[in-house]
Amino acid sequence: MEKEEFKKEYVRMMDSARNDKNKGRCNCDGVSCGVCPLDDFCWNSINAFETIEAVEKWAKEHPIVTMAGKFKEVFGVEPKNTVNMWCCPETIGFPHTGCGSADCGDCKEQFWTSEYKEPGKENK
């Protein structure tokens, strides 16, 4: 696991145990030890190799669900048109404000490959 991927997965792992304003931080602020995925060895001479292995294991057990993956799970088809291009989220009813920030193809790809967030739980 590369350094940037490790940091991203570590933050995602910690965020899965947080329910407060500390989301997105690369530390365990706001995570109760009892629900922390690293609690088994955190207080027992933690070392880098154990941490890396634990984060890798957690990431494999909790893969990122993308917007496209959730769409396919719910509707049984990918959100692509007949020429296999991503559909515009706005044309199928998704509130999306990404237009204008990138070219259309990049905007659609960024939306559909982004991580799915359960409605109502984004800011908790």
Every domain of the chain and the residues it spans: 3-61, 67-113
For 10-39, write each residue's pLDDT tens digit: 888 888 888 777 788 777 777 888 888 787
Tell me which residue has tokens 């207080």: 43
Side-chain-side CA neighbours of residue 25 (13 Å): 12
List helix spans (H) across the chain: 3-17, 39-42, 48-61, 67-75, 104-113
Say what the pLDDT of residue 84 is: 76
How far is residue 106's CA from residue 7's CA, in Å, rounded to a whole number?
A: 25
**The overall pTM is greater than 0.85:** no
Tell me which residue has tokens 């044309």: 91
Say what the pLDDT of residue 46 is: 60
Token pair in block for residue 40: 């088994």
